[in-house]
Amino acid sequence: MISISLLMLLMATASRIVAQSFSCVVSKQEVAVGERFKISYRIENMQARDFRAPDFDGFSVVGGPMQSQNMTVVNGAMSQSTEISYYLSAQRAGKITIQPASIVSGNRTVKSNSVEIDVGGTTMSNTPNTTSPSTQPTQSSNQQQTPTSRDIYISASANRQSVFEGEQVQLTIQLYSIFNSVSLEEIKYPELKGGWVQDVEDAVDTRFRQEVVNGKRINVATLRKSILIPQRSGSLIFDAVTAKVLVQRVVKTGNMWEDFFYGGQVKDERINLSSPKISFKVLPLPEDNKPLSFRNAVGKYTMQAELDKSEVEANDAISLKISIVGDGNLMLLDKPVIDFPSSFEVFDPQVSDKYKVTSTGVTGKKIFEILMVPRVGGSYSFGPVKFSFFDPKQKKYVELVSDTFHIQVKGVAATNQISSGNDVLMTGSDIRYIDDRPLAKNQSTRFFFRSLLYFLFGVIPFILILMTFVFRKVLFMRQTDWESIRTRKANKVAVMRLKKTRKLLDENKLDLYFEEINKVLLTYLSDKFRISFAEMNRDVIYDKLIQNTLSHEISIRVIQVIDASEFARFAPSSIHAGTGLYDEVENLISSIEKNVNL
């Protein structure tokens, strides 16, 4: 320990004796256009940080930066140096000055010297006596070949190739490379038609790590992980992922000295990559033993249904909360169907999705809150709530059943009174008072009995009863036709939900805002045009809009706004863009309401 401390003290003392400098040198000061040369910044005996290179105006950087360090001790005096090097290529003729670089040493900024390069007008390929490595006669024989598909490639893999409709598939996109310096300039992912896809954000790691593939070590970076959920049976194809990458690699120049001291020449290459296609076999869900309560749920779930109260006054609200928890296609679940008492006014459920997408799949819960108002007093029972799902691991349907619900409603009970319909019998009609007054000639001898007014009074009540019965029948059918109710209230529900999304935007909760505004538009289209979420895709939406006499321009605009809202969920740009999206959805719903009569 004492010897190490003493050595450090000697090194510190020696470093104060030797000179300190920060300088710039070049391999040549006269070059041709396009010719490459080396520029080095040498830091001697200085503790430096924050190195900043100049702009290299008039030159392009074709290699570097590369850093090397050296330490020597001569007659007890220690010398330390750090060298940072670049390879440059001249872009235009003339005398070009490379401005100084800078470092920070202690509390001061130190600059290097500037360098003037004389660039001749003749290009490198026309200069016969140039000593540039790129024109050496032996270059073509010694240079490494163009990278092959075994050196760098994109891999697309799935954890299963045969799945049931609605079952989750994990897709992984990875970049494999034997080169350490790779820049991803452009990448395009194909659109999956006939399925739902969402990325696993925390699974992406573009930093290289080493793996052993076919007995060789290779660098691997994870570009994307996604969860796919096919929504139709048959053959489903995930097309190739294409990318453009910039690779920096060192090649032999044939110049013995440069190859020995610098390892060769740094070369940039742009390479186009393409992954293989992936095909999935999507099996249809079995029809045997399919429960009536099945609503497109695939995975593994549990269910809980509960009332907030069991005793209420007439016209007071009751809330039924149904929570579905588990792993699977939660975002595609439809609400369970429940038979409520006819005297209950039932409103559309408030749906909330609380799920997350992980490397193992989609997990979380979906909550349906149904508000109902009993209008007449009495004791009522309804339920149970039934929810079914298909378990792909067991390859069978599972039905979950809640308890039956009992509600006591305080208030006036409804009574149904039915008349016997018998005619009124007249008794004692043979005993009458005899008026002995003379009968006037002009006195009317007609009585109210058997008059027209008499018959009208007898028929009108029956007509009114019949009309009341028909009206109640029609009203009951309208209240129990859930699809018609959804269609009629689609605009009202959408406007209410839009107001809530506006609050999220004002509070700058952009992630929740973009997710909610996407749901508002899709839910409105589902309610208005009776499209189930299991069938919800661009083609179906466009066809439904055209079938309901909407113009081609409005239908295309609907698809564009859906794409914009989905894109904004994962790439929110600004609050201004969010406001524009809000106005787009509001105007679009207004246009649909004006042009469609349902």
Report helix, strand or coil for 444: coil
Q: Which fold has domain 152-282?
A: Immunoglobulin-like (2.60.40)
Lowest mean pLDDT among 124-133, 543-552, 565-574: 124-133
Among 21, 9, 161, 14, residue whose Cα is nearest residue 83:
21
Q: DSSP label at 285?
A: P
Segment 220-239 mean pLDDT? 86
How far is 275 from 153, CA to CA, in rounded Å?
7
CB 546 within 8 A of CB 558: no
Q: Does pLDDT of 105 surpass 90? A: no
Q: Where are the beta strands (DSSP E) in 263-360?
A: 265-274, 278-283, 294-307, 311-313, 318-328, 344-346, 350-358
CATH superfamily, region 13-135: Immunoglobulins (2.60.40.10)
The pLDDT value recorded for residue 113 is: 92
Cβ neighbors of 147 (< 8 A, separation 6 or more) are: 178, 179, 247, 249, 269, 271
Angle at 294 between CA 373 and CA 326, to 5 degrees: 85
The pLDDT value recorded for residue 149 is: 65
The token pair at 492 is: 């009202």
The token pair at 45 is: 């005996």
Confidence of residue 391 (pLDDT cuts 50, 70, 90): very high
The pLDDT value recorded for residue 483 is: 63
Burial of residue 385 (CB within 10 Å: 0-12, 13-18, 19+) is buried
Higher pLDDT, 177 or 249: 177
Q: What percent of the chain has pLDDT over 90?
A: 15
Q: Please, where are the H alpha helices in 59-195?
A: 139-142
- Taking domain 286-410, whether its CATH number is 2.60.40 is answered by yes
**Where do we find the tokens 């809530």?**
500
**Where do we find the tokens 């742009």?**
270
How far is 355 from 55, CA to CA, in rounded Å?
49
Write 258-265 long-range contacts (CB < 8 A, 24+).
258/133, 262/38, 262/66, 262/85, 265/36, 265/63, 265/87, 265/133, 265/134
Segment 221-239 mean pLDDT? 86
Among 386, 380, 385, 439, residue whose Cα is nearest residue 408:
380
Among 337, 335, 336, 330, residue whose Cα is nearest residue 297:
330
CB 198 within 8 A of CB 227: yes
Q: What percent of the chain has pLDDT over 70?
A: 77
The pLDDT value recorded for residue 125 is: 39
Q: Does pLDDT of 139 surpass 80? A: no
Q: Does pLDDT of 494 surpass 90? A: no
CB 66 within 8 A of CB 180: no
The pLDDT value recorded for residue 13 is: 45
The pLDDT value recorded for residue 151 is: 82
Lowest mean pLDDT among 209-223, 284-298, 320-334, 522-536: 522-536
Gap between the terminal Cα atoms of the chain: 89
Higher pLDDT, 148 or 357: 357
Q: Does pLDDT of 235 surpass 80? A: yes
Higher pLDDT, 312 or 581: 312
Q: DSSP label at 272?
A: E
Q: For the chain, what is the mean pLDDT? A: 77
The pLDDT value recorded for residue 385 is: 92
How is the chain split into domains, by residue range? 13-135, 152-282, 286-410, 482-595
The pLDDT value recorded for residue 428 is: 42
Q: Does pLDDT of 14 surpass 70? A: no
Q: Within the chain, what is the greatest distance between any pair of CA atoms?
A: 165
Lowest mean pLDDT among 86-95, 335-344, 529-538: 529-538
CB 168 within 8 A of CB 328: yes
Distances (CA, A) of 420 to 417, 424, 432, 469: 10, 11, 30, 17
Lowest mean pLDDT among 7-16, 24-33, 134-143, 488-497: 134-143
Distances (CA, A) of 551 to 76, 319, 483, 544: 89, 40, 24, 11
CB 24 within 8 A of CB 114: yes
DSSP 374-418: E-SBEEEEE---EEEEEETTTTEEEEEE-PPEEEEEESPBP----
pLDDT in tens, 433-489: 455 555 444 444 445 566 777 777 778 888 888 888 888 777 766 655 556 666 777
Domains 13-135 and 152-282 share a fold: yes
Confidence of residue 333 (pLDDT cuts 50, 70, 90): confident
pLDDT in tens, 497-551: 888 888 888 888 777 888 888 888 888 888 888 887 667 777 788 888 888 777 8
Segment 243-264 mean pLDDT? 66
